[in-house]
A and B are shown apart, each in its own frame.
Chain A
Amino acid sequence: MSGGGDASHGDRVPDDHHGEERTEDLLAEWTVGGIVSTLVPLLVAMSILQMVSGTVLESFEEQLLQYPSLLVVVPVMIGTAGNLGSIMCARLSTLLHLGTLEFTPANPDIRANVGAVIGLAATVFVLLGIASWMIGRLLGGSLGLGRILVITVVSGMLLSVWVVLVSTLAVYVSYQLGYDPDDTTIPVVTNVCDITGVLILFGVVAVVL
């Protein structure tokens, strides 16, 4: 295994010449076994959860194959929900660390973040509707612009409200339990958003189509 691409140069550098500088506990965090045994159980648990969205996709296989626009929407819907959730979590946990976070809807910082996330969602999901309609046309689909826009905008806005709630709750719970929200919330929220993104999207698809 060469490390791939640009990474393989410098392969033969002898690696033990700063042996003494290392302290034991720092190195312990950088062992293959340590990293694998921490991450694999987490990734497996996430994958089991992801099977929920997979099952939903699989059950809509006929519609997805018939209307390629819908296939175009799926990765963007999942990705955008994760991005919005990450922004919300990262910003709220920074506020928390700065000591200026109060969990009330009256807090101007919370309002600003919620406003930004909703605004970003509105922008992205309108663009997504138009783009996926055009791409769907090119791929030989027949779904109309109106329907696609209803699907992307309604499910996108529902999803962004949900993302705001989940992110805020995740930061709050993580803080209450004594975990640093910077470490815990983003993986949890992006994963929850992946699954609920697919559920909300196909809930709306089932109503519209």
Chain B
Amino acid sequence: MIEFLSALDQILSITHLTYLIAGVLVGLVVGIIPGLGGIAGMSLLLPFLYGMEPSVGLGMLMGLVAVIPTGDTFTSVLMGIPGSSSSQATVMDGFPLAKKGQAARALSAAFLSSMIGGVVGAVVLSVFILVARPVVLAFSSAELFMLTLLGLSVVAALSGGNVYKGLAACGFGLLVGAIGGAPATGEFRFTLDIDYLYDGIPLVVVGLGIFALPEIISLLVKNSAIASSPNKLGHGLKQGFKDVFQNLPLVGKSSIFGSLIGAIPGLGGSVVDWMTYSFAINSSKDSSQFGKGDIRGVIAPESANNACASGSMIPTILFGVPGSGAAAVFLGGMLLLGIQPGVSMISTHLDLTYTIIWSLALANILGAIFCICFTRPISLLTYIKFSILTPIILTLILFAAYQATRSLGDFILLGVVATLGIMMKGANWPRPAFLIGFVLSSGAENYFFQSIQFYGYDWFLRPGVITIAALIIVGFVLPPILKRRKQKMKPEQLAQDKEQNSMTKTVSWTDWGIIAVMGGSATYALINIWDASTLTKAFPIIAITIVLFSIVMIVSKYIREKHTKVSSDLAMNLVYIVGFFFIAYGYYLFGFISTTFVFSLLFLRFLAKASYVKSTTIAIGLVIFLVTMGRVMNVDFPEGLFDPYLLSAIKTVI
């Protein structure tokens, strides 16, 4: 207790606060810029760490880690681009809200729930850290495997009434996630001898391709502002706060769940938002608005991801095993400060641990306050004609994708995934199902084999495993029962559901296209993997089976039941995708910064019909942004043919 209070006293000193705020500001910036996350922010701060007072350095790092899940909400809501991997679920309802002209509401609700989530996470951490060791150790590979299954089971809730489409998408995600080294043997799968694929496919690119780019393109096709309806009074900041207070139970549950998932190394932050999102769907009386702009779809993941960032400190501090990417870098920072993680952190260095916790709480509060200050001006962006924003957003997306592995492969993959994303969006296939399958693929496979190798086949008798299995079953059984009860109470709801059912009974050429892509890839994968060793091919074959089985079910449904043929008008979208490939290649070939300038200028002037002054200003602004990023953050861009000249010209000027 004494340590607890003296740590508070310590972080309220001027030095500490200054560094903490510095960390918070850096964290917000890297959170806001898509593609940069904790790792980029840490690289920025690490050079200052060596030789710093440990508690001050820790405060600064914590300031950064804590607010990344706060700042990343901006682009998720305003542009449909996940600001970092922990706010992908926020896009689902945050972006539709922005389209309704309620960006400010979505953002303020998100920031307030982020703050509450972060503080709850810090509280859980301070209580839990003293007893956490045995709890963390209780989660063996078997329980971790069951947790990934629990994560996968949320696909059902996100499938929007068409379970087989969800299953197929999820199975396909599992299969795509299996590209690269097999965890059980180290052999490589589906690499097609392309170097890029050996490491597996980066999550950042998949997230951008499956969500962001399809949204951007469909907005371009429409060419209106993001917000299609004008903002009504009372739908701004205050409304967002009200929404949070009305949903406090949801905030509390999501926060506690988030910090616990964060505390268990192995699942990671990119799933927790989806799990709480589906949890919000399942626990709400009327879930018809999810995906169309339900504020609860923003509140749940945003509470969870900040709490998760706090929770992921537990395994990092106690075991030196990071629970997330940002935590991994934090661990490096600890080592640079000369602090060794481990049991000593709750015995001899308890004061440092409490410094970390207080810094977390304080940083979350500060970060949310900063963000709320900027909410109103920034949310006005959604009223600008979209074609003006296009070059800015496209540059951001390409920038973010290139940070994944810094190769041309990132751009190509982005285009390929985006093509799939556009088709899935056009034909109403659940994109989150694909993403969740992808995210959990390696974990599921890894923990499955590990638990079999460690425990043989009686691992499913472990109490922890049985508990989680029960949870999964409850998750499947409970929502339909609740629904039925609800329908007894409201007959008009029944009519609505019927209407929805007839809505889902449509089929278009795009559906057949997706079926062809998934079926074809799965068949090819099956032939490709057939000769590999058992441990290498077992998991992909499970994924392939899921895909093929679901596809057979979907097709047979098409044959048995009458489906209305609808035309899906994707031709224009696909033209844009082809255009995207060319532009992306241009960015790579001619140099990122020069192409940004030329493309933005031409696009704004001739396609968006902006004035010369406006076009030039935006283009120059983008160049300044990129050059600054390159200088300050040590970020690399494809140099191409012209960038070296351009950069040396800029150097002589500045």
State yes or no: do A and B come from one complex.
no
Residues of A within 8 A of B (CB): none
